[in-house]
Amino acid sequence: MLATALTIIAIVTQDQAGLRAAPRESAAQHAVLWQGDSLEIRGTKGDYLQVYDHRRERAGYVRASQVRPQSLKPENAPELLAVVRFLRDTPGAEALGISYAAAYLKAAPAEAIDGEVFDALGTFAERLARSASSRRAKRPGSAVGEHLEVAAAYGVTMVSVERDDQVQLCYDGDAFRRVLALPASDLQKALAALALTRHDCVSPRLTPVERFALDNWRAEVLDRIDTSELPEVVKNRLHLRKAGVWASLAWQRARRSELGTAVVAEAGNRAVSELAVINKHELAESDAANYSDAAIRVGASRWAAEPGLPLEPIKASLALGIVTTPGEPGETCVHLVDARHDVKNPLLRRCTYGTVWSASAVAHPQGAALTLAVQPLDTWREMWVFRQEPTGWILDVVPPATDTPELGYVEFAGWVPGRTKMLAAREAKADGRYKISFELLNLSSLEVERWADKPSSLSVFYRRQSPAWKAGTVSIR
């Protein structure tokens, strides 16, 4: 393109600058220019510059006060980089920052280019994508849409991710990949890895094979980062991201029986250990939601770290137990058995495409019920409750939340003496809000009779909680 051969350009610094047919305010307006637009300078006339806009293929005049002439000669590269550094942390100047980063890449000798400018370029692009996905972008007068067009003219690509009837824009991460490949500081590489592995930018339309490959790549990118010299707050963010990624991998590995139980347990243990090493004293206030997010993801898959994985039978003792067998392709069938009812003649049989964590099965001391953790999604774990009615055995599914699900898990926490009560812990994110509750359930209806946000605030829960549950849960952290 002709624009790439220019040695002096004019960068538009103001939104809604007019490209006019003549060098006067009353002249017809050919186009509206936005910050970050790059123009070829062809002359000067009074207070105006005669320019050509290669993006719109329009010539005209623009006020000199609305643009910044910029040389693209190698000796001017440090000046351009200084502007990029200034704009990197200036919200609202993303399109302008992208323009200056592009100008620097044209001016600087190849051997002088390292990861710093791509770190800034990726930061501009990611921040612009976040702005475009926010409510502010829909307000009258917002220029985010025009800034996205400016960014696209420089080759910055955005990806639309549709989730729950909402569309979110995400930067495709090309600049951050370059940061990882070029000489850069440990902090720049860490920030690039965090940007490339965001959970909210993983498309829900990926096939299981594609998602498994992506999550393995995300784990590899995060594990390559040297954390020894990083600030504690950045270390925490890396651990939180790793916890979420490994929790997803634990669930996905469990669905691939050919990988073996040891590989599943490895992923489950990594998820739990990454969450455990969080330095809470250095956890930034802005990371509180990310901490809850990571904990729920780990909580949903935490049974991967326990012995007794899907399709491994639990033998019935004198009371109740379960045996799991393969069903249709992708299915696991759960058989409720006891001393007199085996897998061929079970008390009840149910099949599911979810992951059955057989190690989670807990029978009521008097044989009146049995609970089981079943995980249909990598971020969503339900509790199955088998219970005996006068007419026979029935199965109820207790979800983590009744609102629109995003993240969540619910788990058995203990039996209350008698045959009518049980304890459960529930943590979920719904409609953007996090909620954790420790509950007393009526076993006959599974309705919540009492609940609290801390076990110590509910006396029956505090006194009757299962020691095994307390030792393994991440809800108490």
pLDDT digits (tens, 9 = 90+) for 169-214: 999 999 999 999 999 999 999 999 999 999 999 999 999 999 999 9
Predicted pLDDT of residue 5: 57
For the record, the structure tokens of 159 come out as 């990806």
Instruction: State residue 317's pLDDT score.
Output: 45
Residue 432: the pLDDT is 81
pLDDT of residue 135: 73
pLDDT digits (tens, 9 = 90+) for 325-352: 999 999 999 999 998 999 999 999 999 9
DSSP assignment of 172-236, as one string? --HHHHHHHHS---HHHHHHHHHHHT-GGGS-TT--HHHHHHHHHHHHHHHHTS--TTS-HHHHH
Q: Which fold has domain 2-71?
A: SH3 type barrels. (2.30.30)
Nearby residues of 368 by Cβ (< 8 Å), 6 or more positions away: 387, 388, 419, 443
Residue identified by tokens 């001017």 is 76
What pLDDT is stored for residue 167 in this prediction? 87
Eight-state DSSP code of residue 261: H
Q: What is the pLDDT of residue 315?
A: 44
pLDDT, tens digit (0-9, with 9 covering 90-100), for 63-84: 999 999 999 999 999 999 999 9
Confidence (pLDDT) at 402: 84
Cα–Cα distances (Å) from 18 to 43, 64, 445, in that order, read 17, 11, 68
| Exposure string over 262-299, b if 16+ CB within 10 A, otherwise e | ebbbbbbbbbbebbeebeeeebeeebeebbbbbbbbbb
447-455: average pLDDT? 96
Q: What is the pLDDT of residue 406?
A: 78
- For the chain, give every domain's residue range: 2-71, 185-297, 321-472
**What average pLDDT is seen over the chain?**
93
Q: Which of 58, 55, 66, 86 is nearest to 10 (CA)?
A: 66
Q: Is the pLDDT of residue 311 over 50?
A: no
Per-residue pLDDT, 430: 84
26-48: pLDDT as tens digits:
999 999 999 999 999 999 999 99
Task: State yes or no: pLDDT of 136 exceeds 90.
Answer: no
Query: CA dihedral defined by 49, 52, 53, 58, rounded to 10 degrees?
Result: 110
According to the model, what pLDDT value does residue 431 have?
Answer: 81
Does residue 416 register a pLDDT over 60? yes
Give pLDDT, residue 138. Answer: 66
Q: What integer is the mean pLDDT of 385-403?
A: 93
The helix (run of H) or strand (run of E) holding residue 266 is helix 261-276
Residue of 216, 305, 295 whose CA lies nearest to 264 = 305
Express each pLDDT in 101-135 by its tens digit.
999 999 999 999 999 999 999 999 999 999 999 87
Torsion sign, CA atoms 288, 436, 361, 312? negative
Q: Is the pLDDT of residue 318 over 80?
A: no
pLDDT band at 308 (very low <50, low <70, confident <90, very high): low
Work out the average pLDDT over 274-288.
95
Listed range (167-171, 314-318, 458-462) with the worst mean pLDDT: 314-318
Whether residue 3 has pLDDT greater than 50: no
Q: Which residue, 445, 436, 432, 372, is CA-closest to 403?
A: 432
